Amino acid sequence: MSTLFERCQKVMPPVANRATQMGVVKGEGCYLTSEDGREILDFASGVAVCNIGHNHPKVVEAAIEQVKSLIHGGHNVVYYESYVSLAEKLVEITGGDTMVYFSNSGAEANEGAMKLAKYITKRQAVIAFKGSFHGRTIATTSITSSNSAYRKNYEALLPSVYFAEYPNLFRTPYKRECEECPKQYLEQFDEMFKKLIDPYSVAAIIMEPIQGEGGYVVPPVEFVKYVREICDKYGIMLIFDEIQTGFGRTGKMFAQENFGVKPDIFTTAKAIASGFPLSAIIAKKEHMEKWVAGAHGGTFGGNPVACAAALATIDVLENGALENCAKMGEYFKEKLLELKRKYKEIGDVRGIGLMLAIELVDEENRPNTHLTNTILTKALEKGLLLLSCGCDKNVVRFIAPMIVEKKDIDKAIQILDEILSTEN
């Protein structure tokens, strides 16, 4: 009998990148069951979607209850409870001075966020960062620069997009003197405003508070604060893309809390509804109030079942999962640092909460893509699902569910240890 992979090959184009050829039949907690009956420890979490594990009973129950009463209403047509309750909850979590608009995917939320910034400022340009990933639509591809393959044959993309350097301190060419962030990363904006784009023509600076696809790169706090200052100085909207970092991944509800910086607008998706398609644009009330009826929209945004699942997800996060994420994140990072001391192939261990990664290097500290691929393949053979990231695909990311226990982390570390010891 053909596998799901084999059947898929015949009816679907190769366009979507596939990390594995594994078919699955079930997900529960930290584990997936493959179609050939193997139990796989899932530290990919559907790319940071199943943050509270697969099929959390509270999410399942909330979704079933909602299905029984209303599957679709259409937010351009009617109002319904889960939609309004979720917006109220998100406003409460984000300090009370925000408003929320729901869409379906991360890219759609980022598109909306850019439209909002342009609408309010009446400016044209957008500054994004090298190494960024913001989605697959034409506009979000235009602000994405983690891989030229994502842009190939789609040029010309959206005009007036400028890319700044994102401070990757492991690979920085600049000297770190006494300050936390090399000054070149801060000074680049003056340079850009002098030579390329007038700051008063810039609608938004969009950044991931921690770069995801770009390699789980954590910027210095000083840098994030400086970007906020630049935005304040020139009336530029600061947009945080919290699509991968949001909903507890870093041990806080949103990663921005780790930097003490509030954006004007931020987007979130992936883990918001534990796997139901939903995304949100969350922005300061003063800006949202100016976004008049008809300026944006969409048929499926804020689906009743997805909103009910999101409310249940937040409940689980607030009642122990966030705390467990911070605690297990520290434990996991410590274990990864122990491995780094043992294997020179691990050049860097980084991340916050359970958004963790190791960067693999060769003898000369160059990106070691080959070893990264070997680790992913062998880990899956041993029952551990991992993903890579980074512009050179030489970073292994660990996206463990927040309900993870020490024994699961120990198992993953043991598998990594076994692989690295044979590759040495």
Q: Which neighbouring-strand residues pair with 9?
A: none
Contact 219, 255 (CB under 8 A): no
72: tokens are 């679709």
- Minimal distance, residue 405 CB to ligand PLP, in Å: 26
Phi, psi of 239 (to 5 degrees): -105, 125
CA 140 to CA 278: how far, in whole Å? 17
Return the number of the residue (208 or 348) whose C-beta is nearest ligand PLP: 208
- Minimal distance, residue 293 CB to ligand PLP, in Å: 25
Return the number of the residue (133 or 259) whose C-beta is nearest ligand PLP: 133
In the range 77-116, which residues lie near ligand PLP by CB under 6 A? 105-107, 110
Window of 18-26, 73-81, 237-245, 382-390 that interacts with ligand PLP by CB under 6 A: 237-245
Task: Say if residue 299 is exposed, middle or buried (CB neighbours under 10 Å; 0-12, 13-18, 19+).
Answer: exposed
Return the number of the residue (278 or 305) whose C-beta is nearest ligand PLP: 278
Nearest to 100 by CA among 77, 121, 82, 123: 82
In the range 286-315, which residues lie near ligand PLP by CB under 6 A? none
Which of 29, 46, 53, 135 contacts ligand PLP by CB under 6 A?
135
Return the number of the residue (199 or 390) whose C-beta is nearest ligand PLP: 390
89 by DSSP, 3-state: which?
Answer: helix
- Minimal distance, residue 90 CB to ligand PLP, in Å: 17
Residue 16 half-sphere exposure toward CB, CA atoms < 13 A: 10
Return the number of the residue (129 or 343) whose C-beta is nearest ligand PLP: 129
- Minimal distance, residue 86 CB to ligand PLP, in Å: 18
Return all residues near 154 (Cβ < 8 A) that are at least 6 apart. Answer: 138, 141
Residue 140 half-sphere exposure toward CB, CA atoms < 13 A: 19
CA 73 to CA 310: how far, in whole Å? 17
Note whether 241 binds ligand PLP by CB under 6 A.
Answer: yes
Note whether 134 binds ligand PLP by CB under 6 A.
Answer: yes
In the range 23-52, which residues lie near ligand PLP by CB under 6 A? 47
CA 255 to CA 276: how far, in whole Å? 21
In the range 344-403, which residues lie near ligand PLP by CB under 6 A? none
Return the number of the residue (246 or 367) whose C-beta is nearest ligand PLP: 246
Note whether 123 binds ligand PLP by CB under 6 A.
Answer: no
CA 286 to CA 290: how far, in whole Å? 7
Window of 121-129, 208-216, 320-328, 332-340 that interacts with ligand PLP by CB under 6 A: 208-216
CA 237 to CA 126: how far, in whole Å? 9
In the range 256-285, which residues lie near ligand PLP by CB under 6 A? 269
Return the number of the residue (212 or 275) whose C-beta is nearest ligand PLP: 212
Note whether 213 binds ligand PLP by CB under 6 A.
Answer: yes
Note whether 212 binds ligand PLP by CB under 6 A.
Answer: yes
Could you give the angle at the alpha carbon of 358 between the alpha carbons of 355 and 359, nearest 5°? 130
- Minimal distance, residue 319 CB to ligand PLP, in Å: 26
202: tokens are 């810039």
Residue 109 half-sphere exposure toward CB, CA atoms < 13 A: 31
Note whether 181 binds ligand PLP by CB under 6 A.
Answer: no
Q: How many CB atoms lie within 10 A of CB 27?
A: 18
Note whether 246 binds ligand PLP by CB under 6 A.
Answer: no
Return the number of the residue (213 or 348) whose C-beta is nearest ligand PLP: 213
β strands within 215-361, DSSP E: 237-241, 265-268, 279-284, 346-352, 355-360
Q: What amino acid occupies position 151?
A: R
Note whether 254 binds ligand PLP by CB under 6 A.
Answer: no
Window of 117-125, 128-136, 174-182, 352-360 that interacts with ligand PLP by CB under 6 A: 128-136
CA 282 to CA 239: how far, in whole Å? 10
Window of 131-139, 231-239, 392-400, 407-415 that interacts with ligand PLP by CB under 6 A: 131-139
Determine the straight-line distance between the first and last CA of the chain, rounded to whole angstroms. 39
Which of 145, 244, 274, 313 contacts ligand PLP by CB under 6 A?
244
Query: Which residues make up the interface to ligand PLP (CB under 6 A)?
Result: 47, 105-107, 110, 133-135, 208, 212-213, 241, 243-244, 269
